[in-house]
């Protein structure tokens, strides 16, 4: 199968909005299903039922599987049939595979027309599954699609993919999939969703249209459409990721940062910040807080002059992403805590690891990842260029060891999951310089002549070098000196400042080069 299967998700929209969002999220985040399936949810306006039906059927015609969810209500009528019932008949007409899921048992009292739809299902013969809650629905939907893909396309998930899916479904919180009406689409931070779509789809952020922004947020379970109000609203996950101040809706969506002069909290931090931003940018803000409250020794390494970080930034970022993605959001009374001490950094996230993950598994690095908030985890992995699947704690450990520090300590404290990063103490010489930080790697240094090496040494000593310095100290012409320095600029080691004979060359800082 070369292209993804479009799965048309059909239901009475308002009644089953939770179920629609959870199915969409399952198809978008499950490692196996997301590789082979795309959910299609047509959002219609009931004020124009005829056009709504026309749009629904047009969308359905482009799909290869029909997924029906039925509860109590029959839905908006167009003639004698509801839109959902008409969609089912079109799926039969096109001989599409029908996967039907009925909420509640046979004793549930439903509208008469709904009972008629269920009788038609019985008479037509497609087998349907019953479910009582969204966890059961996810399990049934996944099982049905896995069976379909195996029977029709000979595609099957690996045992690891099955285990990760099972554990994630069991751990999944219903928090992030709540279709709320607190914030409209227009009230969200559209620049944040623009960055998300650009990263997720490898697109130029400047060329993403307003319509693409809304479509991208919808397909990722961050917004939903209320047909009665004719508005798009943020889901809970959308509020966490895209609201300008998520804590205005969810007070727990904050990062409380404190920096202390000593090794213990003293009630009087010398720096404090209550970070209330869309969580992707809140993480960046937290990294900046750590940066300004930790040490940055300068070190000359060969032909390089580097500003080092006391802690590996990517390890800290990974821990903060995990804290935001995997915390227990139902705990509305506690926030993520960031504490910077003289000898360590501590990141505390409300909630313990979801079952079956244990502290022992995490410490050994032997576990299959699962998340109670898979939508948040997936979206944050795009923002911060962190691999969602795999062991983030193993990466943190390796990054700390490669930095010359001890591996992070994992633990719990009064219901918080904690990651503790111990620093170098007074021995800053412990900090190692990874080759990726070197402006002049051994491979580049091999390309340089003796004059260029001496010029770089002068820059490290005095901060700059000019062609006149080379003429005087290396006994060459101005043309030769200029060629040497221009070559260093082309290698993105130096950058020219000023014009003519008054110009000089300085180091191109790492941030400017990245």
| Calpha distance 399→315 (Å, rounded) | 6
Tokens coding 155: 């595609």
The pLDDT value recorded for residue 42 is 83
| Calpha distance 278→189 (Å, rounded) | 8
Residues paired with residue 497 on neighbouring β-strands, in sequence order: 504
pLDDT digits (tens, 9 = 90+) for 240-274: 999 999 999 999 999 999 999 999 998 889 999 99
The pLDDT value recorded for residue 512 is 42
Q: Are the CB atoms for 26 and 33 separated by under 8 Å? A: yes
Is the pLDDT score of 185 beyond 50? yes
Is the pLDDT score of 70 beyond 60? yes
What's the whole-number average pLDDT of the chain? 89
| Calpha distance 483→486 (Å, rounded) | 5
DSSP state of 243: B
Q: Tell me the CA distances in angstroms from 259 to 216, 256, 273, 298, 317, one per residue in order.
A: 38, 10, 9, 22, 17
Report the share of the chain in percent with pLDDT over 90. Answer: 63
Give the residue-averaged pLDDT of 400-410.
Answer: 92
Give the residue-averaged pLDDT of 482-502.
Answer: 89
Give the residue-averaged pLDDT of 176-204.
Answer: 93
Confidence of residue 388 (pLDDT cuts 50, 70, 90): very low
Is the pLDDT score of 5 beyond 90? yes
pTM of the model: 0.74
Q: What is the 3-state secondary structure (H, E, C) of 150-212?
A: HHHHCCCCCHHHHHHHHHHHHHCCCCCCCEEEEEEHHHECHHHHHHHHHHHHCCCHHHCCHHH
Ordered DSSP codes for 118-160: HHHHHHH---EEEESSHHHHHHHHHHHHHHHHHHHH-----HH
Is the pLDDT score of 316 beyond 80? yes
| Calpha distance 239→228 (Å, rounded) | 21
End-to-end CA distance of the chain: 39
Q: Tell me the CA distances in angstroms from 242 to 200, 218, 353, one per residue in order.
A: 15, 12, 25
pLDDT digits (tens, 9 = 90+) for 422-441: 999 999 999 987 766 667 77
Give the residue-averaged pLDDT of 470-497.
Answer: 93
The pLDDT value recorded for residue 44 is 58
Confidence of residue 513 (pLDDT cuts 50, 70, 90): very low
Q: Tell me the CA distances in angstroms from 114 to 12, 102, 188, 237, 259, one per residue in order.
A: 11, 11, 37, 32, 60
Confidence of residue 510 (pLDDT cuts 50, 70, 90): very low
Q: Are the CB atoms for 22 and 177 separated by under 8 Å? A: yes
pLDDT digits (tens, 9 = 90+) for 277-297: 999 999 999 999 999 999 999
Is the pLDDT score of 165 beyond 50? yes
Confidence of residue 174 (pLDDT cuts 50, 70, 90): confident
What's the length of the chain?
A: 514
346: left (phi over 0), alpha (psi -120 to 50) or beta: beta
Domains annotated on the chain, with CATH: 5-172 (3.40.50.10140), 173-244 (no CATH), 255-430 (3.30.565.60), 439-513 (1.10.10.10)
């Amino acid at each position: 199968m070369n292209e993804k299967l479009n799965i048309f998700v059909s239901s009475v929209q308002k009644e089953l909005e939770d179920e629609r969002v959870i199915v969409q999220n399952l198809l978008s985040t499950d490692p196996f299903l997301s590789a082979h399936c795309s959910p299609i949810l047509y959002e219609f306006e009931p004020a124009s039922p005829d056009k709504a039906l026309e749009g629904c059927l047009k969308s359905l015609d482009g799909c290869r599987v029909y997924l029906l969810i039925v509860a109590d209500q029959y839905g908006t009528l167009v003639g004698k049939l509801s839109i959902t019932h008409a969609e089912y008949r079109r799926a039969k007409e096109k001989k599409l595979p029908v996967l039907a899921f009925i909420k509640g048992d046979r004793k549930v009292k439903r509208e008469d027309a709904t009972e008629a739809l269920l009788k038609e299902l019985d008479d037509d013969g497609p087998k349907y599954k019953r479910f009582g809650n969204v966890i059961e629905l996810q399990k049934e939907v996944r099982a049905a699609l896995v069976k379909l893909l195996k029977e029709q396309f000979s595609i099957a998930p690996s045992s690891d993919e099955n285990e990760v899916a099972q554990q994630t479904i069991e751990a999944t919180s219903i928090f992030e999939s709540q279709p709320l009406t607190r914030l409209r689409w227009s009230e969200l931070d559209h620049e944040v969703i623009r960055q998300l779509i650009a990263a997720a789809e490898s697109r130029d952020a400047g060329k993403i249209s307003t319509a693409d922004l809304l479509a991208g947020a919808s397909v990722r379970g961050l917004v939903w459409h209320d047909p009665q109000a004719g508005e798009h609203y943020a889901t809970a996950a959308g509020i966490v990721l895209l609201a300008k101040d998520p804590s205005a809706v969810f007070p727990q969506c904050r990062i409380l940062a404190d920096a202390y002069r000593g090794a213990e909290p003293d009630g009087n931090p010398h720096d404090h910040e209550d970070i209330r931003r869309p969580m992707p940018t809140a993480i960046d803000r937290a990294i900046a807080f750590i940066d300004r409250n930790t040490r940055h020794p300068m070190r000359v390494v060969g032909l390089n002059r580097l500003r080092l970080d006391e802690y590996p930034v990517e390890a800290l970022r990974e821990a903060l992403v995990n804290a935001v993605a995997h915390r227990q959001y139902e705990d509305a009374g506690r926030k993520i805590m960031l504490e910077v001490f003289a000898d360590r950094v501590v990141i505390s996230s409300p909630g313990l690891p979801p079952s079956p993950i244990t502290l022992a598994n995490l410490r050994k690095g032997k576990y299959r990842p699962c998340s109670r908030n898979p939508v948040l985890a997936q979206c944050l992995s795009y923002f911060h260029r962190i691999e969602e699947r795999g062991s983030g704690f193993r990466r943190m450990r390796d990054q700390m060891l490669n930095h010359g520090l001890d591996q992070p300590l994992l633990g719990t404290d009064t219901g918080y999951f904690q990651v503790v990063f111990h620093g170098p103490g007074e021995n800053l010489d412990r900090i190692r310089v990874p080759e990726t930080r070197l402006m002049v790697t051994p491979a580049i240094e091999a390309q340089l002549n003796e004059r260029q090496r001496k010029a770089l040494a002068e820059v490290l000593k005095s901060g700059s070098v000019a062609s006149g310095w080379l003429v005087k100290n290396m006994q060459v012409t101005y043309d030769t000196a200029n060629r040497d320095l221009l070559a260093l600029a082309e290698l993105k080691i130096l950058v020219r400042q000023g014009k003519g004979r008054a110009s000089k060359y300085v180091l191109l800082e790492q941030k400017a080069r990245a």
